[in-house]
Amino acid sequence: MKELRSIWWSRGSVVIIDQRLLPKKLKYLRIRTAKEMAKAIKDMAIRGAPAIGVAAAMGLALTAYRCKARNREVFLKRLRRSAEILRATRPTAVNLFWAIERIMKIAEESETVEEIRKNVINEALKMAEEDVETNKKLGRNGAKLIKDGDKILTHCNAGALATVGYGTVLGVIRAAVEQGKSIMVYACETRPKLQGARLTVWELMRDGIKVKLITDNMAAFLMQRGEIDKVIVGADRIIAKTGHVINKIGTLSHAIAAKFYNIPFYIAAPFSSIDFEHNLDEIVIEERDPREVLYVGKERIAPKGTEVWNPAFDITPPELISGIITERGVYRPEELKELSSGAGGRGE
Amino acid sequence: MKELRSIWWSRGSVVIIDQRLLPKKLKYLRIRTAKEMAKAIKDMAIRGAPAIGVAAAMGLALTAYRCKARNREVFLKRLRRSAEILRATRPTAVNLFWAIERIMKIAEESETVEEIRKNVINEALKMAEEDVETNKKLGRNGAKLIKDGDKILTHCNAGALATVGYGTVLGVIRAAVEQGKSIMVYACETRPKLQGARLTVWELMRDGIKVKLITDNMAAFLMQRGEIDKVIVGADRIIAKTGHVINKIGTLSHAIAAKFYNIPFYIAAPFSSIDFEHNLDEIVIEERDPREVLYVGKERIAPKGTEVWNPAFDITPPELISGIITERGVYRPEELKELSSGAGGRGE
């Protein structure tokens, strides 16, 4: 089967899988402007930290492709405006800001309108290709930690759909399976938006990898029964200064339970998910619409007037994390502060 | 507003609230036979350990009311047959077996058909009344642990709907509120069947008690933020010999997180939920239909062919439990083995 891609450039527009409709429908959305891309990110038609990074870069590429301005300053102004709209979509994942910065730097450094256009589009396409390569390296680094027969718990979707392709957590699992290891995945459904049930199960079944679905609150009981050998989850932002990991709501709960039962708890994320700049208290944890909790599809689950708290992410402290699997190697959380985004790092 | 009751005897039949339809519809089911009652228990039209105990007793009362046999042995045989059907509904909650045993003992000790009929019906009605009294005592015992301004996390529904009335966990909260304490409840939605979202939120809003809904996987993050002062949950079976508590799936996860954040974790349950006889490894943890996970109402959440694990309960070890609140007092889990079901106990 063809390798799954979540996003690609197609003749002056960008095509994404509309992940809100999975697994019921595999439908593609054609996106023509940065504004449309911003909406797709905000509404979570595309989601996952690495994927929204590339989506934002592609959003800027769309502006570069369409902008008719001939004056360099006007052209840059349009790009800056698009960057602003894209930055305002989701506050927590660092990849979004990293990607926009990377593209805007290229743009500002280019000399003519034609060069800006060409360089921005090329850089966005390059980032998409890099993402897949990064994940394959990350996958190989992670697969070394995986034993034949391992039962692995994961949360949310850190798969091909959360990246451009191959995935981070699911990249590790795919690499282990490609090495001939027999792996069983327990996918937590991941309330409220059910990315585990809808996306992770779908991706793994598509690849013929063994997967069983549980509700999030069953994970600790599986661990108690000795059914989980490792937990691997993604990251939306890793704070290098302290080693805290911000990831999909529910991650913390699994990390605490894994610690209680002495089960290794790994993060799998590209280097671009590491924030070398901010302190934890500077990060905004996105709170989303209460209706995400109150409804599953069209089914309302609680009385009218119910008050809801709906944070999209939580924070896992470094003492609960066994290792952070990246394309450059596997790090302990406390090692990150000694690195920098430019450093070569270890491993591959 | 009238005090909520989940079940009552009404002119030779039993009326229950059909809890599957809440909060959308408050509909009553009229039940005429033990077999109908068994179906209502199995399908979770009525649920909650204390409630299904009384429901089973009332099921036997229906057999006693309707049975036309004039021969004592035939009459008892019919009752034993009903008891068997009721026992086969749900394996985990001990109250079901306790209630059936209590009624059958009365029946077997009665001398004539008329006496059996009268005694069985009276005992079932007495058990229903006792349940509410028990919960009010339990509530007062628990309320002593609650401070003005406490934010309390609960899981599933251990309210009036899980008992005959007043509730165990919600009984503690109601008693604290009756004492003038200001309480805020965080209700975990409780996947897969959403008793927290559907029933606990509904009950508390009906009583004007402050409640906020979260998904189960948000609880640890709330604790990390210092937003939870106490966790109180119910029990389906408490193993006296070792102090383990079997309760709704998800309980263990909250208990581990509460320990990690040094938050008191209480069980609220009547003495009839304590199993003085069995060892933990003798207890069957009910596994229910995968469709409970795969569907929310009519919405399917995962691909066709998805494998699911759906245990209805989990097991919390005694070292995670701060206290067990009963109608006879508050016990540490390790104290239970020194008690017996007949003992007077402490407190009220």
SS (H, E, C) B93-152: CHHHHHHHHHHHHHHHHCCCHHHHHHHHHHHHHHHHHHHHHHHHHHHHHHHCCCCCCCEE
Residue B9 main-chain phi, psi, to 5 deg: -85, 135
Instruction: Give dist(CA B346, CA B348) in Å, integer.
Output: 7
Alpha carbon of A144: minimum distance to chain B alpha carbons (Å): 27
Whether residue B220 and residue A294 make contact (CB cut-off 8 A), yes or no, is no
Q: Is pLDDT above 50 for B347?
A: no
**Given this model, what pLDDT does residue B131 score?**
98
Residues 219-258, chain B, touching A (beta carbon < 8 A): 219-222, 224, 249-250, 252-253, 256-257
Question: Confidence class of residue B2 from pLDDT cuts 50, 70 and 90?
Answer: confident
> Is the pLDDT score of A184 beyond 60?
yes
**What is the value of ipTM here, to two decimals?**
0.95
Q: Is the pTM of this model over 0.90?
A: yes
pLDDT higher than threshold 80 for residue B67:
yes
- Pick from A142, A141, A134: nearest CA to A49: A134
Residue from the list A215, A253, A298 with its beta carbon closest to the beta carbon of B220: A253
Contact at 8 Å (CB) between A197 and A213?
A: yes
Q: β-strands A313-316, A265-268: how paired?
A: unpaired
User: Mutate which of A190, A228, A253 to disrupt the B interface (most B C-beta within 10 Å)?
Assistant: A253
Residues of chain A found within 8 Å of residue B308, distances taken between Cβ atoms? 212-214
| Per-residue CA distances from A57 to A91, A94, A101, B177 (Å) | 16, 13, 9, 54
Contacts of B293 in chain A (CB under 8 A): 189, 213-215
The interface residues of chain B toward chain A in range 174-203, judged by CB-CB distance below 8 A, are: 186, 188-192, 194, 197-198, 201-202
Is there a contact between B194 and A301 if contact means CB atoms under 8 Å apart?
Answer: yes
DSSP string, A12-61: TEEEEE-TTSTTT---EEEE-SHHHHHHHHHTTSS-SHHHHHHHHHHHHH
What's the pLDDT at B348? 38
Whole-angstrom distance, CA of residue A227 vs CA of residue A230: 9
User: Tell me, what's the pLDDT at A340?
Assistant: 76
Q: What is the pLDDT of residue B1?
A: 62
Indicate whether A1 pLDDT > 90. Answer: no
pLDDT, tens only, A4-48: 999 999 999 999 999 999 999 999 999 999 999 999 999 999 999
CB-based contacts of B175, cutoff 8 Å, min separation 6: B136, B139, B140, B142, B143
Collapsing DSSP to helix, strand or coil, B304 comes out as coil
Asked if the Cβ–Cβ distance from B293 to A215 is below 8 Å, we say yes
| Half-sphere exposure in the Cβ direction for B330 (13 Å, CA) | 19
Domain with CATH 3.40.50.10470 in chain A: 140-346
**Mean of pLDDT values over B176-184:** 98
**B191 and A216: CB-CB below 8 Å?**
yes
The CATH number of domain B140-346 is 3.40.50.10470: yes
Does A306 contact B at CB distance below 8 Å?
A: yes
If you average pLDDT over residues A234-239, what whole number do you get?
A: 98
Picking from B163, B185, B176, the residue whose alpha carbon sits closest to that of residue B236 is: B163
Confidence of residue A346 (pLDDT cuts 50, 70, 90): very low
The answer to whether A209 contacts chain B (CB < 8 Å) is no
Helix and strand element counts for chain A (H, E): 11, 17
Third-level CATH fold of B7-136: Four Helix Bundle (Hemerythrin (Met), subunit A) (1.20.120)
Are B293 and A222 in contact (CB < 8 Å)? no
pLDDT at A298: 94
What pLDDT sits at residue B340?
A: 76
CB contact under 8 A, B194 and A224: no
By DSSP bridging, strand B295-296 and strand B299-300 are antiparallel
Predicted pLDDT at A341: 64
pLDDT for A2: 80
Among A216, A236, A275, A281, which one carries the catalytic annotation?
A236
CB contacts of A257 in chain B (<8 Å) are: 252-253, 256-257
Express each pLDDT in B279-297 by its tens digit.
999 999 999 999 999 999 9
> C-alpha A37: how far from its chain's center?
16
The pLDDT value recorded for residue A348 is 38
DSSP B57: H
Q: What is the pLDDT of residues A283-328, one digit of tens each?
A: 999 999 999 999 999 999 999 999 999 999 999 999 999 999 999 9
B101 Cβ partners below 8 Å, 6+ apart?
none
Q: Are A256 and A320 in contact (CB under 8 A)?
A: yes
Mean pLDDT of B309-319: 98
Contact (CB<8Å) A293/B213: yes
**Considering chain B, what is the average pLDDT of its residues?**
96
Write out the two tokens for A95. 């990849």
pLDDT in tens, A77-110: 999 999 999 999 999 999 999 999 999 999 999 9
What's the confidence (pLDDT) of residue B345?
A: 45
Contact B213 A253 (CB under 8 A): no
Determine the average pLDDT of the residues in B324-342: 92
Distances A254 to A261, A318, A321, B44, B191 between C-alpha atoms, Å: 11, 14, 11, 29, 16
Residue A263 in this model has a pLDDT that exceeds 90: yes
Q: What are the residues facing B69 on neighbouring strands?
A: none
- Average pLDDT score, chain A: 96
Please enumerate in sequence order all residues whose Cβ is within 8 A of that of B150, keeping only pairs 6 or more positions apart, or say none: B176, B181, B183, B184, B229, B230
Residue B273 clears pLDDT 90, i.e. is over it:
yes
- Give the catalytic positions of B in this structure: 236
- Report pLDDT for A342: 60
Q: What percent of chain B has pLDDT over 90?
A: 96
Question: Which amino acid is it at B122?
Answer: N
B141-163 mean pLDDT: 98
List pLDDT tens digits, range B28-63.
Answer: 999 999 999 999 999 999 999 999 999 999 999 999
**Every domain range in chain B assigned CATH 1.20.120.420:** 7-136
Question: Which among B191, B212, B309 has the least Cβ separation from residue A217?
Answer: B191
Nearest 5°: the CA angle A149, A153, A158 is 115
Residue B41 C-alpha, separation from nearest chain A C-alpha, in angstroms: 21
Question: Nearest by CB to A302, which of B201, B221, B311?
Answer: B201
- Which residues of chain A make contact with B305, given a CB cutoff of 8 A? 205
